[in-house]
């Protein structure tokens, strides 16, 4: 079984099924009248406006030993800028202990409301009786975004994500950012409100995209349910955002994956773009967890290769992370 990848605006295959539910669907956002383009978040934070600024980001750490090993090697080597750990998962405490020794790095929380693998499962951090809408008959988190969106209440979602943040803080670490496993926190507007509310209250930036007309149109063309209310919620959110978001492309061979990744980078417009991937070291255990193990192993190879970063630098790419973005955001506020 292969789960949906994680996306910051619930741009997940199958999420369009939610449109069939009257309680969740709304009319698409209307197109805005053309006008002067807004500055990118890169420009707002003081990066050269013509530059492509990248966050190479490892998802799903804490999920298993293999993911932790790959992410730690990439972070320690300076070959990626960011990673996010899944608090409910079995190997979270190990990555939290490591992060406590490396506090200057950007390790965030991959807030998990689903447990998607066939045999490798986890439950909520909050007591099960306090979040019953998040729990399946076996006591684990539901497997799919659709299950969560049709069964859970926003209050339960908020309680669980607060519990995950609090568990991280109790381990003596300060997350660099928050994001959402499988895009679940963007599956419903009330989930999104809870997500951004918690981010602002803790002063930990949530992974979110600036909803410019171009971004809206791009994803509306793909059939995703963006609304005027989504835009309004995004506009009210006060912390830094991304200008773009991509997943590392798959490939039938490592060489094809390598070439497709660099083609993706060359196609990016100016602004801050996060590219996510799921690196893991190869073991028999990993192969028992996920059918996507080969892509994950190739991604660890791609982003562990010093040549990858050198090539990106020759492309004129700059790098950042969420902690640096927050520092620049704070400096910008002081300068006003």
pLDDT on residue 332: 85
* pLDDT tens by residue, 80-93: 999 999 999 999 99
Residue 58, pLDDT above cutoff 80: yes
Q: Where are the domains of the chain?
A: 39-335
pLDDT on residue 16: 39
Name which of 295, 225, 223, 226 is nearest 261 in CA terms.
295
Which helix (H) or strand (E) segment holds residue 202: the answer is helix 189-202
Q: Lowest-confidence range among 18-27, 129-138, 228-237, 292-301?
A: 18-27
Q: Which structure tokens are listed for 95?
A: 């990555």
Residue 32, pLDDT above cutoff 50: no
* pLDDT band, residue 231 (cuts 50/70/90): confident
Q: Which structure tokens are listed for 240?
A: 């830094």
Distances (CA, A) of 226 to 30, 113, 247: 10, 21, 20
pLDDT on residue 12: 44
* pLDDT tens by residue, 168-181: 999 999 999 999 99
Name which of 221, 240, 207, 252 is nearest 327 in CA terms.
240
Longest dimension (CA), the chain: 55
CATH architecture of the domain covering 39-335: Alpha-Beta Barrel (3.20)
pLDDT on residue 304: 87
Residue 57, pLDDT above cutoff 80: yes
Q: Which residue has the tokens 């969560």?
A: 148
Residues 277 and 57 sit within 8 Å (Cβ to Cβ): yes
Q: What is the DSSP letter of 24?
A: T
User: How far apart, in whole angstroms, are the C-alpha atoms of residue 332 and residue 242?
Assistant: 16
Residue 5, pLDDT above cutoff 70: no
Give percent of the chain above pLDDT 90.
Answer: 76
Q: Which residue has the tokens 């009257």?
A: 22
Full DSSP string of 54-69: EEEEEEEETS-HHHHH
* pLDDT tens by residue, 101-119: 999 999 999 999 999 999 9
Residue 2, pLDDT above cutoff 60: no
Residue 6, pLDDT above cutoff 70: no
Q: Which structure tokens are listed for 255?
A: 């060489």
* pLDDT band, residue 226 (cuts 50/70/90): low
Residues 61 and 85 sit within 8 Å (Cβ to Cβ): yes
* pLDDT tens by residue, 134-147: 999 999 999 999 99
CA dihedral (276, 281, 285, 289) in degrees, to 10, reads 10
**Phi and psi, residue 115, nearest 5°:** -135, 95
pTM value surpassing 0.85: yes
- In sequence order, the 6+-apart residues with CB closer than 8 A to the CB of 310 are none
User: How far apart, in whole angstroms, are the C-alpha atoms of residue 250 and residue 292?
Assistant: 10
User: How far apart, in whole angstroms, are the C-alpha atoms of residue 207 and residue 9?
Assistant: 9
C-alpha atoms less than 13 angstroms from C-alpha of 112 in its C-beta half-sphere: 33
* pLDDT band, residue 234 (cuts 50/70/90): confident
Residue 309, pLDDT above cutoff 90: no
* pLDDT band, residue 230 (cuts 50/70/90): confident
Name which of 198, 195, 197 is nearest 185 in CA terms.
195
């Amino acid at each position: 079984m292969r789960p949906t990848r994680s996306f910051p605006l619930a741009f997940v295959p199958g999420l369009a099924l939610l449109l069939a539910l009257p309680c969740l669907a709304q009319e698409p956002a209307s197109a805005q009248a053309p006008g002067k383009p807004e500055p990118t978040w890169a420009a707002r934070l003081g990066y050269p406006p013509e530059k492509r600024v990248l966050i190479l980001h490892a998802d799903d750490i804490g999920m298993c030993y293999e993911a932790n090993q790959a992410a730690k090697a990439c972070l320690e080597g300076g070959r990626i800028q960011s990673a996010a750990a899944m608090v409910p998962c079995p190997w979270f405490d190990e990555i939290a202990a490591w992060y406590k020794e490396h506090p200057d790095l950007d390790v965030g929380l991959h807030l998990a409301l689903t447990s998607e693998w066939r045999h490798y499962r986890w439950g909520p951090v909050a007591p099960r009786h306090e979040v019953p809408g998040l729990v399946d008959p076996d006591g684990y988190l539901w497997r799919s975004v659709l299950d969560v969106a049709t069964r859970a209440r926003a209050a339960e979602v908020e309680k669980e994500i607060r519990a995950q943040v609090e568990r991280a803080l109790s381990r003596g670490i300060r997350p660099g950012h928050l994001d959402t496993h499988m895009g679940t926190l963007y599956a419903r507007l009330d989930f999104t409100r809870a997500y951004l509310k918690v981010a602002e209250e803790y002063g930990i930036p949530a992974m979110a995209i600036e909803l410019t007309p171009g971004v809206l149109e791009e994803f509306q063309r793909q059939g995703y349910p963006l609304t005027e209310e989504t835009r309004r919620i995004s506009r009210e959110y006060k912390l830094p955002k991304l200008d773009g978001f991509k997943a590392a492309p798959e490939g039938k061979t490592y060489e094809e994956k390598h070439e497709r990744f660099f083609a993706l980078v060359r196609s990016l417009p100016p602004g801050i773009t996060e590219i996510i991937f799921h690196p893991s070291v190869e073991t028999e255990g990993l192969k028992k967890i996920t059918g996507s193990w080969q892509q994950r192993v190739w991604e660890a190879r791609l982003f562990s290769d010093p040549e990858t970063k050198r090539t990106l630098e020759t492309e004129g790419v700059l790098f950042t992370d969420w902690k640096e973005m927050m520092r620049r955001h704070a400096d910008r506020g002081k300068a006003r």
